[in-house]
Structure 1
């Protein structure tokens, strides 16, 4: 069976990996010239998600880990925070661009064909139209393009614009993730802070409309002082409306952010995206082997 996947994030790559393991012919199209870029994810994942990725990547996964966290500090801005720490690791941070690149390496090693720097439009009858006008036909297509697809399918969905900045800071507990809440300035989402590497801290926020840049700048001044030095910034989107069904429409399957498969509290997409990829690939495998209908 021939399957075409559009979108080179974890959801698309893991769907492709599972299909390749069962003898499928898989093409994956990614509009950017490099997998994993531009970066836009905080990269904090649970130990359960980490274990799933370790099974896929093997020894490569150890090189993906950047930080380990043992506790959480949460508070209202202007109030006294509550802190809880553990002796054991509670969460880890991964280098998200490198994670995606490692997944793409495994995808290629298993025989998958990567097509980078190519935009592809999906047609529900199993056809792909590339930006150069070429057309490809597949038995099934997987839409893993992310928020762009989600917004097109669910125009009333709640999607937040997020901004995350890296700042230079030596005075920060490297084993703690901070969550700060201020319903007046940021009613839809919290501020987050964590150390990503030596002397570098990531902090961000998300809001429904414009203004996230101003919000995070004001927060940085409050948390780190007016002289905090911004080193880099990342932008992205966070889906809060939940999944949008059906996950299958004709010959097209939707996985990851395209299907709204994200955590309802944090908007994180890795854990649910992996689960969505596993279920989508399982459905296609059953269709190929048993003639079962593709149903999610």
Structure 2
């Protein structure tokens, strides 16, 4: 019997598997397809990402360096309000290779990582968890003391263990223009209902165009308008769910959720790579597979680490729905050089950022 079974080998699942294996636990991790595919989210991340991968991985993963963002209330021809730093704000990375790199780190730490294995049933019992796993040869039973649900926005672990759903699920789409672009700025368009659209230069990998919006919105039609406004033909279209708003509880007796399954994401961008891996580290430090009560410690730990950032992120997101004149006024007032960290909204109140505001 394993100490931990991990369902889903995205960044959160791979990080937890790696750290738990390094801590001496017996870990098995299941990925229903091939790690990293299909691509369903952006690869625009803060520079903190390099603390989670081997030093020699950066040269393979890095596609472009970003120094700021231009915000638009309308389309590409509308007034741009730039927010920037003199040093890198963020990086654009190969998102598929990131997942594969993190999975390799888990394997090297001693975790069993099984691709093409789908967990089809999760049965929480008094002393363990029984998983039914499907692969090309049929099904097999796997037992573990605890199960980590890292299986994304529509988590099977969450559903079968009776855990509550995220506050909302947005619909995100993205596609790529292959023309190289190593521009210093991403473009953000506050044109999608209650969310936004984006353009991200990815160096030699081309340009990423994307959009997120609530269910029921004609996301594909809005995306077509975006790419038409930029006069580009895109390829490799893909879509996925974006969970926003963690539920009041992300653990049961022997199961716990990490990453998108727990909606540990930034409400104002939908990004969850760094938040998910932060929560994975909290889980490894807090959870004892022989003590179900330790799951409460995980619940407290990840919320202490992320809840203030998520709460402030909700307020930022509300600005996306303000009347256009108010948005224009706010963007004009706040644009310019910043001292804000893209994953930590609370850094808006840092000495560095306040000094930038006062110095304008």
| TM-score clears 0.5 | yes
Determine the C-alpha separation between the residues in 1 that align with 2:205 and 2:15: 33
Q: 1:273 to 1:199 in 2, by over 3 A?
A: closer
Which residue in the other structure is 1:41 paired with? Answer: 41
Query: Counterparts of 2:236 and 2:140 in 1: how far apart (Å)?
Result: 38
Contact residue 245 and residue 259 of structure 1 kept, 8 A: no
CA distance in 2 between counterparts of 1:173 and 1:86 reads 17
More helix by share: 2
Higher strand share: 1
- Structure 1 residues 245 and 156: alpha-carbon distance in aligned structure 2, compared to 1, 3 A threshold: closer
Question: Partners of 2:205 and 2:92 in 1: how far apart?
Answer: 15
- Structure 2 contact 166–263 (Cα < 8 Å) conserved: no
Aligned residues: 282
- Separation in structure 1 between the aligned mates of residue 105 and residue 66 of structure 2, nearest angstrom: 28
* 3-state SS of 2:176 partner: strand
List structure 1 segments (4+ residues) > 6 angstroms apart after TM superposition.
none
**Structure 2 equivalent of residue 248 of structure 1:** 251
Q: Distance in 2 between matches of 1:99 and 1:269?
A: 14
User: How far is 1:160 from its partner?
Assistant: 1.0
Instruction: Work out the CA distance in 2 between the residues paired with 1:199 and 1:271.
Output: 23
1:34-183 equivalent positions in 2, closer than 5 A: 34-47=34-47, 49-54=48-53, 57-77=54-74, 79-120=78-119, 121-125=121-125, 126-131=129-134, 132-149=138-155, 152=159, 153-154=163-164, 157-169=167-179, 174-182=183-191
Which residue of structure 1 lines up, in the alignment, with residue 222 of structure 2?
215
Matched, 1:229 2:226: no
| Mapped partners of 1:268, 1:24: distance in 2 | 29
Q: 1:210, CA displacement in angstroms?
A: 5.0
Q: Alignment partner of 1:160: what SS? A: strand
| Change in CA separation of 1:168 and 1:293 when aligned onto 2, cut-off 3 Å | closer
CA distance in 1, matches of 2:197, 2:292: 48
Q: CA 1:27/1:248 → structure 2, altered by over 3 Å: closer, same or farther? A: same
Shift of the 245–291 alpha-carbon distance from structure 1 to 2, 3 Å rule, reads: closer
For 1:67 and 1:199, the matched residues in 2 are separated by: 9
Structure 1 residues 229 and 291 mapped into 2: Cα distance closer, same or farther (>3 Å)? closer
CA contact (8 A) 2:164 2:248 kept: no
- Segments of structure 2 that go 5 or more residues without pairing to the other structure are 300-360
**Which segment drifts farther, 98-107 or 82-91?**
82-91
Query: Is 2:166–2:246's contact at 8 Å kept on the other side of the alignment?
Result: no
The answer (yes or no) to whether the contact 1:168–1:229 under 8 Å persists in 2 is no
Superposition RMSD on alpha carbons, in Å?
Answer: 2.2
Question: Does the Cα contact within 8 Å between 1:53 and 1:61 map onto a contact in 2?
Answer: no
Alignment TM-score, normalising by the size of structure 1: 0.88
- Checking the alignment, whether the CA contact within 8 Å between 2:150 and 2:261 is kept in structure 1 is yes
Q: Give 5+ residue unaligned stretches, structure 1.
A: none
Q: CA deviation at 1:239?
A: 1.5
**Residues 156 and 115 (structure 1 numbering): CA distance in 2 closer, same or farther, change over 3 Å?**
closer
What is the CA-CA distance between 1:191 and the residue it aligns to? 0.8
Q: Distance in 1 between matches of 2:100 and 2:187?
A: 28
Q: Secondary structure at the match of 1:18?
A: helix
| Shift in Å, 1:116 | 1.1
TM-score by length of 2: 0.73
Q: Bigger shift: 254-263 or 82-91?
A: 82-91
How far the C-alpha of 1:45 sits from its partner, in A, is 1.0
Distance 1:175-1:213 versus aligned 2 partners, 3 A rule: same
Residues 127 and 213 of structure 1, relative CA distance in 2, 3 Å threshold: same
Cα deviation, 1:60-116, whole Å, max 9, x if unaligned, reads 233211111012100111531112333211101111110110111111112111111
User: Displacement, 1:154?
Assistant: 4.1
